[in-house]
Amino acid sequence: MRQVDSLSGQELRDMFIIATDWLEKSASDIDALNVFPVPDGDTGTNMLLTMRSTLEEAYRAPDRSASAVSEAIAKGALMGARGNSGVILSQIWHGVAQGLAEKESFTGRDLADALLRASVMAYKGINNPVEGTILTVVREAASAAQAQAASGSNDLISIMEATVNAASKSVANTPNLLDVLREAGVVDAGGQGLYTILEGSLHYLKGEVEEMQSRRPEMIASSTPLTARIPQMVAANEVPYGYCTEFLLKGQGLDPDKFRMKLKKKGQSLIVVGDESTVRVHIHTLDPGRIIHYATSLGTVHQVTIRNMDEQHQDFLKMQRERMPATEIAIIAVVSGEGLADVFASLGVTAIVPGGQTMNPSTQDLLQAVELVPSDKVIILPNNKNVVPSANQIQSLTTKVIEVVATETIPQGIAGLLTFSSEADLETNAQAMNRAKSAVRSIAITRAVRAVQLGGLNIKKKQAIGFLDGDLVAVGDNTTDVLGEVLAKLDLDEAEVITIYYRADAERAEVDQVILSIREQHPQLQVELVRGGQPHYHYIVSVE
């Protein structure tokens, strides 16, 4: 079995050349993983350009020692870092250079120590580190390298194999750590890019350079079973994204930590890295001019890039529309809660506008969704009585033909969807959906936010309250008791199906006794339990 005991600086540079070539093969695939509004819209391309900058500087290293080459690599990465992922990558190589300082060559254990420093440096430059990103991948990969070295291994191949395997698992797990990845059905793009670089380095160490010519890098799949998610339209009146602002600051006596603290409240996605003479800055801000003006008071500014992220977002929404399947009639639903969104997606909704109780979308939000769906005929399901008036305004604002099925609850919306037929016309479907929504009974259980007298009931703050078809009918201390009380007001002998949408795992455990009681008293009933993940309501119940 092949072993590599140590690498010189020249061999380190050659390894980076191969790793960069390997990354180039999948740069466009990595770009496609990006989930807006994650800061870096072209992750693969930006990481590739950053890596190329490291190579240009590596050729200028004053000698062939591992120390000199790694330091040159770090400098090249800092000078040429592109995008959020490129800046973080520059910090990783800066940490590696620290780990290889004063070394003519390096072993597997040296590499493990360097990767640990790389992880520390990657986190250090970020104002608000987020797990489920490239940061997690480098940390878990470094931990695996340390564990392999601690087992007594000093071979570079075995250390790198452990590193790559851990990076692969870490990338696959990123959707479990970051909701936006799980919802989009992708892994983190920056993590995938780092894995590809490490994988290319391993191929070099194993002497597989020729074989790489006819192969392509592995694109990691999520370890979580991913279901197809329908587009969720982002509200048009949200706070603007602003400008992605990047630049290189050169001067004397610069203090990256002080600079970071100064910019901390000036924007989002802040990364400040560098040293006393050179600082790389990445920030999302509504006023890039103030940032640049402050920077010029400290030194000279170079490589300034300012991108309008609101324009990027509009391009993203356009791309969403292009990816939607063509349909004669589009259906837009107002839904809140991951599980409920999955239910509506499985029933054929074209797009979701996030919203519901206490978070009603505006007419503008609904209009944006209408204009984006790829159909001139649209059915809107408001699923909340407070949203119905906004939905009714849409027809006067668009040239598309709109039918508002005035659903006031989630169960009504689901009942309506179950009757939809792609073979029927718009008017026929709207009529059928209106009939269906009237045939379902809706229950909602929540807690009172204040004390009140209503409907003949004395309600204390934080007591459980139950609604039947929008009317307050029960109050008590326990949510499941109140649920049982509301169900008792219905003639369940005439019902066929009860579906209970619970909010979180706590509700799932509590409601089991209620379900058991229902089944004992009404054995003919089909009782279903679905994790809705809805805010505010412990339970939403459909009785058909």
58 occurs within a structural domain:
yes
CATH of residue 475's domain is: 3.30.1180.10
231 occurs within a structural domain:
no
Residues 27 and 137 both lie in one domain: yes
Residue 251 clears pLDDT 90, i.e. is over it: yes
> What tokens appear for 518 in the block?
């229902």
Residues 6+ apart with CB under 8 A from 239: none
- Tell the burial category of 326 from Cβ atoms under 10 Å away from its Cβ (0-12, 13-18, 19+): exposed
466 occurs within a structural domain:
yes
Residues 525 and 383 both lie in one domain: no
> What tokens appear for 397 in the block?
């604002």
Residues 91 and 131 both lie in one domain: yes
pLDDT at 539: 92
Strands 351-354 and 330-335: parallel
Residues 415 and 278 both lie in one domain: no
Instruction: Provide φ and ψ at 504, rounded to 5°.
Output: -150, 180
Residues 200 and 72 both lie in one domain: yes
Residues 13 and 133 both lie in one domain: yes
Contacts of 237-242 with C-beta under 8 Å, sequence gap 24+, read 237/362, 237/364, 237/365, 240/286, 240/310, 241/37, 241/284, 241/309, 241/310, 241/312, 241/313, 242/267, 242/268, 242/284, 242/285, 242/286, 242/309, 242/310
pLDDT at 224: 57
Q: How many CA atoms lie within 13 A of 357 on its CB side?
A: 14
Residues 403 and 472 both lie in one domain: no
Residues 17 and 101 both lie in one domain: yes
Q: Looking at the chain, how many residues does it have?
A: 544
68 occurs within a structural domain:
yes
471 occurs within a structural domain:
yes
Q: What are the E-state strand segments in 81-197?
A: 105-106
CATH of residue 256's domain is: 3.30.70
Residues 357 and 400 both lie in one domain: yes
Residues 200 and 264 both lie in one domain: no
Domain endpoint, select from 437, 454, 477: 437
Question: How far is C-alpha 438 from the chain's CA centre?
Answer: 37
319 occurs within a structural domain:
no
> What tokens appear for 372 in the block?
């984006």
Residues 112 and 198 both lie in one domain: yes
pLDDT at 145: 96
Residues 433 and 454 both lie in one domain: no
522 occurs within a structural domain:
yes
Number of structural domains (the chain) is 4
CATH of residue 147's domain is: 1.25.40.340
The rounded percent of the chain whose pLDDT value lies above 90 is 54
262-280 pLDDT, tens per residue? Answer: 998 888 888 999 999 999 9
End-to-end C-alpha distance for the chain, whole angstroms: 67
**Mean pLDDT in residue range 380-406:** 92
Q: State whether residue 328 is helix, strand or coil.
A: coil
What residues make up the domain containing 269? 243-311
Supply the DSSP symbol for 395: G
Q: Tell me what the pLDDT averaged over the chain comes to.
A: 87
Residue 227 clears pLDDT 50, i.e. is over it: no
152 occurs within a structural domain:
yes
Residues 6+ apart with CB under 8 A from 297: none
Domain endpoint, select from 419, 437, 455: 437
